[in-house]
């Protein structure tokens, strides 16, 4: 039986509201030591804000960090996977979409976790698989997804 994403994902993901300003989002990322925060309105997943989104879509353009909100810079539509998908299948999604982090949903499409390239490498012991994904992600350094 193949391993599932639910076996390696990070649970208890912190989220931000769409009207959260970018400085607050960046501070939350720093305090949590994470590089991405899903943007949710209640239980509805709207998008995701990454440290790269903040840098390229706000700071580099001279946006006012106090008056620019997450909704304005978030990556959307969001690429996601389901918790019962095989790790290999999800790894291919990350490779094709060229992303380092992927939100994980349950069958009801509720946010239940996040999986990163690091999770694939560390928690599966599959350095080869993580290396393949990293190679594909790194090929397009201007990609603004996760």
For residue 141, pLDDT over 50 is answered with no
51 contacts 29 by C-beta, under 8 angstroms: yes
79 contacts 145 by C-beta, under 8 angstroms: yes
DSSP secondary structure letter of residue 98: T
Dump pLDDT digits (tens) for 9-36.
Answer: 999 999 999 999 999 999 999 999 999 9
**Would you put residue 67 in left (φ > 0), alpha (ψ -120 to 50) or beta?**
alpha
Dump pLDDT digits (tens) for 29-54.
Answer: 999 999 999 999 988 999 999 999 99
Residue 121's pLDDT band, with cuts at 50, 70 and 90, is confident
Residue 142's pLDDT band, with cuts at 50, 70 and 90, is very low
Mean pLDDT along residues 118-146: 59
pLDDT score, position 143: 45
| Greater pLDDT, 136 or 27 | 27
Sequence-distant (≥ 6) Cβ neighbours of residue 104 within 8 angstroms:
5, 6, 9, 80, 81, 82, 83, 111, 112, 113, 114, 115
């Amino acid at each position: 039986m193949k391993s599932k994403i639910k076996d390696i994902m990070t649970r208890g993901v912190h989220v931000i509201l769409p009207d959260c300003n970018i400085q607050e989002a960046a501070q939350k990322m720093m305090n949590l030591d994470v590089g991405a925060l899903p943007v949710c309105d209640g239980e509805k997943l709207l998008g995701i804000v990454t440290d790269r989104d903040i840098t390229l879509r706000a700071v580099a353009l001279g946006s006012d960090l106090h008056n620019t909100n997450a909704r304005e810079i978030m990556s959307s539509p969001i690429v996601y996977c389901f918790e019962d998908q095989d790790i290999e299948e999800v790894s291919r999604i990350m490779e094709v979409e060229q992303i380092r982090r992927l939100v994980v949903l349950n069958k009801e499409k509720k946010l239940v976790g996040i999986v990163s390239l690091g999770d694939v490498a560390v928690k599966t012991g599959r350095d080869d698989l993580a290396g393949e994904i990293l190679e594909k992600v790194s090929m397009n350094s201007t990609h603004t997804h996760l």
